[in-house]
Amino acid sequence: MAQNQLTLIYSGLQDRVNSRQDLDGALLSSLVYRDAVGALPPDEKPFFQNNELLLFNLENQEVQSIRAVDGDGDVFGAAEGWSTDGQTLMVQTYAPAVFERREHPIYLVTESIAYRFYNTNLAEQGQVAVDEWASSYGKFVSPTTVLFAAGIGTNIWLYTYDLTTDELQVVSEEPGTFSPRFDTNAHIINDGSAIVYTFSSFLSPTELYRSNIDGTEPQQLTQINTAVAEASDTRMDAVTFTLANGQTREGWLLQPADAAFPPEDVPIVVWQEGGPGPMMNNQWGTSVEAPFALLPNFDIAVLVMPLAGHDGYGSDFSNALYDDANFGQIDIDEMSEISQQVLDRGWAVYGQLGISGCSYGGYFALQSIACHPDLYAAANPQCALIDLVVEWSCGYATVMPQLQGPRMPYTDPQEYQDDSPSYNVDQIVAPVLTFYGTEDLLPITLNENLHQQLVDQEVLARMIKFIGEGHGLDAPSSQLYAAQEQIDWFRTYLVERLDPGPRPGPGQFRVMLPLVGR
């Protein structure tokens, strides 16, 4: 709000009550389903046709508006705020996703974001857009300067944008995650000359900093995590791989500080982010879901590698997972190529590669060891999605339709089965350590059944159920217990490299213990 003016954005989306839209599966007749599969023309989309930016003058009760249908196809997402002098409004807009083999654009999926600037009469004054940006947000720090935080690649960096010169400049290019503290800025910095932000990376736990707005003269303001930083002793090295199709994939190899780079014959755990879709940002992590500092401090390297479908590399990169029938295959196969190159380079030998992840990362781990059983020597899936038929039928209303498009379990059951680890358990030979919360939104019974199938076919398997935990482990006691199990699992099968066969009898692994409570 500025100068007695209030801005709102209206879309008009809902056509199912929230309880049904959240976790009741895909409803073929719903507008959100039809949009998700690309079957809804733009002139029938209420969340496009009804989308508008409204500006209310609280003094004279005048209302001004701009309708999305009168523009270039983008929709208004959020009114980010006014300039410090109240003369310029910044609004976030987004373009709908365009996927291969979808007839119409999909407005429930964002392909790219732009920031548009309007005066008090809603006349557009300019815009800034970077296709590679992910998870961006911004705020005016002066009448003509905006401070942005935006994800690009594996980093979240700070940028300044000057409306008068149309110049966008990065504040710092240090690898890691910057997060501006706008509330703090408002209290202690009133001239736009300096900024306060938090920073962390794979190597550095979070602390608060202050610097000039151009990034010069950075000053650490807190020492909250000094003991943690001193206890950790790791290194990170940028790595690049070229796929058979000529595309490159860039990521990070995290190792003990005294390890050599490039490494030779070391245990490496391939890690994948949940989602799918979010950027895999370079930030501090000691949890079993994000073991960036956990495993390397126990002499087990972690390979962080963004693959097709993740944000931060442009729309073509992120859309690839949704195009055609790519889901369940393209990123799985990309990682198998990269894993083979890791072996070919001598960084690890057969029997030293593990794989782990939570949620979609858990799906990725299980699908990988099912599709490429000879590559990975051990896996640690956590709160994993494993059955796409169940997710389509009983899960979120739009997730599976967005990923699979117009293909349904009724019309293309083989596609859903091929993409579901639960239907391909007979391909798995690697030892599997499963973490799962008893209150997870994904049905725990499905993972219990997958575990029992592994046991029955004499694959080494251990499933730990955490009482009261949901989708991921929140309680410190759960994290501490899981960390010991994760480290021991990968030490056993990647470091000591115990031969998992001949298989033990099924009876030895039928009881899924322990149950870990809060």
> In sequence order, what DSSP letters do the residues of 22-50 get, joined into one string?
HHS---TTSHHHHHHTT-S-GGG-HHHHT
Residues 267 and 207 in one domain: no
pLDDT of residue 192: 65
- Where is average pLDDT lowest: 13-17, 209-213, 505-509? 505-509
Domain boundary at 178, 197, 226, which? Answer: 226
pLDDT for residue 13 is more than 80: no
Mean predicted confidence (pLDDT) in 36-64: 90
Cα dihedral sign for 336, 489, 266, 382? positive
pLDDT for residue 379 is more than 50: yes
- Where is average pLDDT lowest: 331-345, 388-402, 496-510? 496-510
Mean predicted confidence (pLDDT) in 472-498: 94
Residues 205 and 129 in one domain: yes
pLDDT for residue 88 is more than 70: yes
Mean predicted confidence (pLDDT) in 210-221: 92
What single-letter amino acid sits at 367? Answer: Q
Domain span at residue 98 reads 5-226
Residues 301 and 239 in one domain: yes
pLDDT of residue 12: 58
Band (481; pLDDT cuts 50, 70, 90): very high
Mean predicted confidence (pLDDT) in 492-499: 85
Nearest-angstrom CA–CA distance, 93 and 129: 10
What CATH code is carried by the domain that includes residue 485? 3.40.50.1820
* Per-residue tokens: 518: 């809060």
Mean predicted confidence (pLDDT) in 468-483: 96
Residues 314 and 429 in one domain: yes
pLDDT for residue 512 is more than 50: no
pLDDT for residue 516 is more than 80: no
Split into its structural domains, the chain has a count of: 2
What are the distances in angstroms from CA 494 to CA 110, 147, 206, 297, 433?
Answer: 40, 45, 31, 15, 13
Mean predicted confidence (pLDDT) in 331-347: 98
pLDDT of residue 6: 73
pLDDT of residue 510: 34
Cβ atoms of residues 518 and 379 within 8 Å: no
Cβ atoms of residues 313 and 233 within 8 Å: no
Extended beta strands in 378-452, E state: 378-382, 432-437
Nearest-angstrom CA–CA distance, 214 and 212: 5
Residues 210 and 244 in one domain: no
Q: Mind listing the pLDDT tens digit for each residue in 260-314? A: 999 999 999 999 999 898 999 999 999 999 999 999 999 999 999 999 999 999 9
What are the distances in angstroms from CA 266 to CA 348, 352, 430, 486?
Answer: 5, 7, 18, 17
pLDDT of residue 19: 45
pLDDT for residue 103 is more than 60: yes
Residues 150 and 277 in one domain: no
Residues 200 and 242 in one domain: no
Domain boundary at 226, 243, 271, which? Answer: 226
pLDDT of residue 233: 97
Mean predicted confidence (pLDDT) in 465-475: 95
pLDDT of residue 429: 97
What single-letter amino acid sits at 74? Answer: D
Residues 68 and 186 in one domain: yes
Domain boundary at 226, 246, 271, which? Answer: 226
pLDDT of residue 7: 74
pLDDT for residue 501 is more than 60: no
User: What percentage of residues in the chain have a pLDDT greater than 90?
Assistant: 78
pLDDT of residue 190: 56
Residues 93 and 126 in one domain: yes
Residues 202 and 263 in one domain: no
Residues 167 and 316 in one domain: no
Q: Mind listing the pLDDT tens digit for each residue in 153-173? A: 999 999 999 999 999 999 999
Summary mean pLDDT of the chain: 90
pLDDT of residue 496: 86
What CATH code is carried by the domain that includes residue 160? 2.120.10
Residue 483, SS3? helix
pLDDT of residue 61: 84
Measuring CA to CA, which residue among 275, 359, 355, 347 is closest to residue 310?
275
pLDDT of residue 507: 38
pLDDT of residue 218: 92
Residue 253, SS3? strand
Q: How many CB atoms lie within 10 A of CB 148?
A: 22
Q: Mind listing the pLDDT tens digit for each residue in 186-212? A: 444 556 688 899 999 999 999 999 999
Residues 301 and 169 in one domain: no
Nearest-angstrom CA–CA distance, 182 and 185: 5
Location of structure tokens 């499963």: 434
pLDDT of residue 515: 55
pLDDT of residue 14: 53
Whether cis (ω within 30° of 0) applies to the bond prior to 256 is: no
pLDDT of residue 362: 98
Nearest-angstrom CA–CA distance, 52 and 55: 10
